[in-house]
Structure 1
Amino acid sequence: MPARSLTALTVLLSLLLVGCGGPAAQPSSESPTSQETTEAPSPVSIPDTHAGQKVQWIIDMLESEADATADQWEAELDPTFLAEVSAQDVTDLVNTNLRPARPFTVTNYQGTDNEATATLQGTLGEPFAVSVSLGPDQKITGLWFGPPTNIEFQEPTSIDELSERLQNLPGEVSALILKDGETVLDIDASTPAPLASIFKLYVLLAVGQSVESGALTWDEELALTDELRSLPSGELQDEPAGTRVTIRDATRKMISISDNTATDLLIDRLGRESVEQAVADSGHHDPAALRPFPSTGELFTLGWGDPEYRERWNSGDEAERRAVLDLIAGEPIAVEASAITGDPVWGDGIDWFASAKDVAAVHQTLQALDSAEIQQILAANPGIELGQWSYGGFKGGSSLGVLTGSWLLKDSDSSATVVLLYRGDDTEAVSGQLQEFFGLAQAAIGLVR
């Protein structure tokens, strides 16, 4: 088992509290859905090895009465790990995205004395895996949270096999793989599809453009208001009104943990029209498809609030849709996270829509800004392992009936873009393909290299 650093947090958003490109099958701007386990999983024991003891310590932290602290994590993390990921980042992500699903049952365990992977089932969402690798002093050198390892998963060995496996998923797939400007794989890459949280790339582009023009600075502070408080995923939704966050930190939260409230703070500061202009500037094939550009809170209200909003949005033109958003604006969100359930709403036009080619284009436009800040923000959470690629800018998402992932990859002499957009009318069928979807994404990143 190779040592792995902290990744797959976007995946976790999809696995746990279920929500919106921001709830990602959890809480994300998409659709947070609360999900109860209907059948108790069978527990397995954790062996008394060094790795087993460390896995048990992590479980104890997850199930503790109080949130874990950065000091507790720092004492267990090796300096080589801390050089890449801070103890505070680990603490925030674990407390926000994992602990709400406690208590946990260990349903699978595999490992040696110094490396192990355990599968945990909580009271919310899908099971997830935690993998640890230990150094000579038994400190954690590798830590990874993500979809459970599927022992039946067979990694495709060619692009043709990858294409076939993607097209065999029970739903609709759009996929695009580019390498050094050449098309390696194209599956309906020009077909518009719901993006879930990938839409946040357009907000990021608008931020980058505004900083470049001098209209914004990274250090400018935004104040949280009740009117802009969205649903999970994220953490800002739990902070009191008046909490201040810089443009830099809000943008980082929007991309790395798909924070929906951070996203809405940014959209409010930028102005909806600035984000819509960024969509056009990115080369979207039909910018009108994202006009008007809803916030995450507005999307939750459209999909699960007053049914009249949904009907008017679905049947309305741009002017009518703007009128609907005007009705929603200025009021705290009236939808509870527990209400984000049922059938997908993207079929009624409620999501953010773009093709795989459009997503590749916005990634490339972001890179063209030549902003070290933006490149760092995109690389903070690569979603899955990058293999031999030295850089990976990532944004993915999930919502009811939607799984998406997009990567901009670079090394010293090559670059590639991988975009996978998967959707279906059957929410359970789509969510049941998490392991296959992200396993194929991992394979795509390796094959294109």
Structure 2
Amino acid sequence: MKLLILSTSLSVYLLIYLTFKNFSRYADYRKYGKILVFVLMPLNSVFFAHFQAKYYPTFVAYLVFLVLMFIWFMVVFNTSATLAYFGAIHYVFYLFVMRSGVMSVYSLFVQIPIAVLKQGGYHALMIFQISAMLVVVLFVYWNKFILTTERMNYVFANPGQLRYILFNKTILGLYMMVITFGSRYTLNEIWYSSVHLITAIIVGVVAYSALQNGISVSESLEHEKQTVALQNQLSMQISHYRSYQKYTEGFREFRHDYKRMLSTINSLLRNNQFEEAIHILDEMGVTLASNEVAHKQYSNYPLLDAVFQEYANRCVENEIHFDGILYWDEAISMDELTIVRLFTNLLTNAFEAAGDSQARYITVSSNARDHWLDIVIKNSFDGNIHDDLSSTKTTTEGNRGLGTKIVSKTMESIGGVFSWDTQDQEFIAYLHIPRR
């Protein structure tokens, strides 16, 4: 019996280790989070083994461990309550549903009523150990092939779908506990074991279907966002093309007239009509200057030049001073869609913040060094900002700080570094992008 308790504790230890390890893909550990994991894993193992060895109602065990896992996630990880609850119910739910299914099959096989099996002892520990090992195998398979980090991040980025999944699992978990509690009152044990097994299967399948549906919807929304980003990219490239077209047409007209103008200037100078000649030269200078303004180059990379042209035009319309040149290295490993998303989020934040300030300006600079490209984007702002960069204002697109969070995740994905600082009423964003 002691050996069985030990092996059950080890099974639970392995399951909890896998639980924390998988959740670390979605949230960062707190300062002492990794140390707490090694403290909580044996503690949880003892709790699980104790609850199975003693006669505790299943619904009590379910609720206790759901609350405990929620607390552990909040203590170990720097995450939101919603995400912590997802982690808790995801693992506790499937463990107890698997336990219900194994208990039903075990009851039918050994011809022992479920009510007796649940009273603790050898059979309860054996059932729980089998369930824990099956859940470990199930989670390893799911996390590798189905519930991948990329797919789950789509769900976490979609609060509506995440709440839908949590609601379904919460209701199904409570329903499973009600069915399990019915073992105290049924007289036909074979009938109840069969119903218990079928219920466990249905609950598990429905919960998994809800999770898959949430992932599919979230993926579709993410693809829609990418489509919108591509449309915005195309719009900026068209705007860039029109600006360049205006630039070339101006020079075409100037080239058509400049020979005639030079001939006129030559004639005026020969006749000592210096004032008239100077007047024509001044007009030529104004024409050249207007064409230069019509297509000011902001980057050596055409795509980025198009992005900056778009925001420069917005700034002109809103009386915001926009200036700077961004050098881009072709050796940087970043696809075009990522580049557009990165800089449109930064420039959108800068544009909105500068629009609320008195100084109203945005400047961009870059510097290539060793294996890094350093980019600095400065903008004026009204001085009101939170530590997490969430704005005190809410726009039709949500919190302005969301754009900065997207930038941070994007930079992390390419091995870059993103940081920010404020000086007086100036916000400064620093990007350090690896050049490979």
Instruction: Report TM bin, short chain.
Output: under 0.3
Greater C-alpha Rg: 2
- Whichever structure has more strand as a proportion of its residues is 1
| TM-score scaled by length of structure 1 | 0.24
TM-score by length of 2: 0.24
